[in-house]
A and B are shown apart, each in its own frame.
Chain A
């Protein structure tokens, strides 16, 4: 394939209005975004530095991420706060909708990035690592390199979960809330959609010539009984609207109130579908004791590409530390001699040739 053809046709394509068939202005240097040349997508961060590479680099602009809530919705709310916080620190306009909790109070819980708080990095480093080196002592005074360090307007940022953003920062930010005031008990999906539609058509549609920001929409606790109307229809209309806009959506879904077929339809309409499953203390014995729950990737986006991004593993776990929320590959801890796992293994009959080697009576020796 000639290189010129690649440059003209395969590289970055921003959303296109079908009716006019005209390409939207190309914003390749939007703050808080990066370009995926392979998939011809503009990506934005989830706010969790360990999650971005798992889903193929970040959330594509013009896509919907569906997050099935965990029991108690503690961690899903935390992921929502990370998603909104990274938008806030990059100067993106936000739209927050929630009925479980007032959206204004959710905005007050957002976190500032570590660079904004100017927190000394050594406070985040575990105490053990600050001790004097006993083996490689010659590297004691060499400068430390932190690969996770980021600038305020860069793509991925670290957040300190123990801190909240200042009211001054919130006042400067462009944030819209739904509902703006609690004047009635329940709101419908149609009302929510009309507010989002107005906002996008006014400022964030691909046809809008001057806009150079990405709208981040956070919808908390959809599917719960607090909302009225047809959820699937809302998702359908939203997915068609978002695909022609400079916006991305994170929806947390209360699956306990929904039928499996409705959840399945919502997953089909979303571009990325994720699920959190918390582990009760009873489940956390043996090898899962260091994780707070399991993380599942139900659907990866195939937007603008033939196939989906294949992650390194299918087994992921998450854990909440005092200041960080981490999603990582599920792995077994090192097997120590006095561990329960080893004792369990020893009790099993072993198969061996010749019958030598094992001191225990091997029932299956031959």
Chain B
């Protein structure tokens, strides 16, 4: 699991930023990237026994079982993290409440957790628009996140869809607020047994941009540079 972050040159510095965007292309699943960020956060903060760390996962889709299974394949159990009170799940898909109520609920839950380092993951942000939430209200919730939760690290997970202008506007807004943008995309030309897709990592402030290829294997994810080959 730590191999992914290491191969992508993602360090503790990345998670000290306010916002990190993980953008997945249509029909691509970037769950492994989110879990590798969780792993990196827990690894970096776990060594310091004085300061406790906590991960909060805000789910806009009923996909915890999927995330847990992906975690199992990458040797990380989300269920045991929940049981050891290192991870809190906030389900936002079952409530039929307004955006303001949703944010208040998230904010109060985050405030009630007593930990020095907190990582807040907003999984599938685009699903807010599927609930029937107006576009402006979705922008409001992103601004709330930026302004009120800025003392913690926020990972905003969204999906890129060319055909959906609303979703593309939302993605642009999310990326504008973030200092780090990690784009996970599949191959444009179809399927290949040597490469599953590519990852673009960019840092807005350091004008850093790099592309890596990755391959899904039975043992996990292998990341390598373009022109190289998967070693596993």
Interface on A for B, CB 8 Å cutoff?
Answer: 1, 9-10, 13, 15-16, 18-19, 21, 38, 40, 230, 232-233, 235-236, 239-241, 243-244, 260-261, 264-265, 267-269, 298-300, 302-308, 310-311, 314
Q: How far is the CB of A327 from chain B (nearest CB, A)?
A: 18
Q: Are A233 and B130 in contact (CB under 8 A)?
A: yes
Q: How far is it, in angstroms, between the C-alpha of A1 and the C-alpha of B76 when the chains are bound?
A: 13
- For the complex of A and B, the 6 pairs showing the least CB-CB separation, nearest first, are A307-B216, A236-B130, A304-B69, A240-B62, A264-B163, A302-B29
List CB contacts (< 8 Å) of B30-89 with chain A: 32, 59, 61-66, 68-70, 72-73, 75, 77, 79, 82-83, 89
Q: How far is the CB of B23 from chain A (nearest CB, A)?
A: 14
* A305-B62 contact, Cβ under 8 Å, with A233-B131, A299-B27: no
19 intermolecular pairs with C-beta atoms under 8 Å apart: A13-B65, A18-B62, A18-B64, A21-B83, A232-B130, A233-B132, A236-B131, A243-B65, A264-B161, A268-B27, A269-B130, A300-B27, A304-B66, A305-B69, A306-B29, A306-B73, A306-B216, A306-B220, A308-B29
Chain A residues with Cβ below 8 Å from B62 are 18, 239-241, 243-244
Q: How far is the CB of B163 from chain A (nearest CB, A)?
A: 4
CB of B159 within 8 Å of the partner chain? yes
Chain A residues with Cβ below 8 Å from B218 are 38
CB of B232 within 8 Å of the partner chain? no
Q: Are A240 and B93 in contact (CB under 8 A)?
A: yes
Q: How far is it, in angstroms, between the C-alpha of A268 and the C-alpha of B64 when the chains are bound?
A: 17
Q: Are A306 and B70 in contact (CB under 8 A)?
A: yes
User: Which chain A residue has the least Cβ–Cβ distance from B130?
Assistant: A236
B side interface size, CB within 8 A? 44
CB of B228 within 8 Å of the partner chain? no
CB of B13 within 8 Å of the partner chain? no
Chain B residues with Cβ below 8 Å from A13 are 65, 68-69, 72
CB of B94 within 8 Å of the partner chain? yes
CB of B191 within 8 Å of the partner chain? yes
Chain A residues with Cβ below 8 Å from B68 are 13, 16
Q: Contacting B72 at CB < 8 Å: which of A9, A235, A269, A302?
A: A9
CB of B127 within 8 Å of the partner chain? yes
Interface on B for A, CB 8 Å cutoff?
Answer: 26-27, 29, 32, 59, 61-66, 68-70, 72-73, 75, 77, 79, 82-83, 89, 91, 93-94, 126-127, 130-132, 159, 161, 163-166, 190-191, 193, 196, 216, 218, 220-221
Q: How far is the CB of B213 from chain A (nearest CB, A)?
A: 14
**Apart from A261-B164, A261-B165, A300-B27, 12 more pairs, CB < 8 Å:** A15-B65, A21-B82, A40-B69, A233-B131, A236-B131, A239-B61, A240-B62, A264-B164, A268-B26, A306-B29, A307-B216, A314-B190
Q: Are A18 and B91 in contact (CB under 8 A)?
A: yes
Q: Are A21 and B131 in contact (CB under 8 A)?
A: no
Q: Are A260 and B163 in contact (CB under 8 A)?
A: yes
Chain B residues with Cβ below 8 Å from A260 are 163
Q: Are A236 and B127 in contact (CB under 8 A)?
A: yes
Q: How far is the CB of A20 from chain B (nearest CB, A)?
A: 11
Q: How far is it, in angstroms, between the C-alpha of A1 and the C-alpha of B159 when the chains are bound?
A: 33
Chain B residues with Cβ below 8 Å from A303 are 66
* A304-B132 contact, Cβ under 8 Å, with A9-B77, A21-B79, A260-B163: no
Chain B residues with Cβ below 8 Å from A9 are 72, 77
Q: How far is it, in angstroms, between the C-alpha of A236 and the C-alpha of B133 when the chains are bound?
A: 12
Chain A residues with Cβ below 8 Å from B221 are 306
Q: Are A10 and B61 in contact (CB under 8 A)?
A: no
* A243-B63 contact, Cβ under 8 Å, with A19-B91, A21-B82, A306-B220: yes
Chain B residues with Cβ below 8 Å from A243 are 62-63, 65
Q: Are A16 and B164 in contact (CB under 8 A)?
A: no
Q: How far is the CB of A234 from chain B (nearest CB, A)?
A: 10
Q: How far is it, in angstroms, between the C-alpha of A302 and the C-alpha of B69 when the chains are bound?
A: 11
User: Which chain B residue has the least Cβ–Cβ distance from A16?
Assistant: B65
Residue in B29, B72, B130, B164 whose Cβ sees the most chain A Cβ within 10 Å: B130
Chain B residues with Cβ below 8 Å from A241 are 62
Q: How far is the CB of B38 from chain A (nearest CB, A)?
A: 16
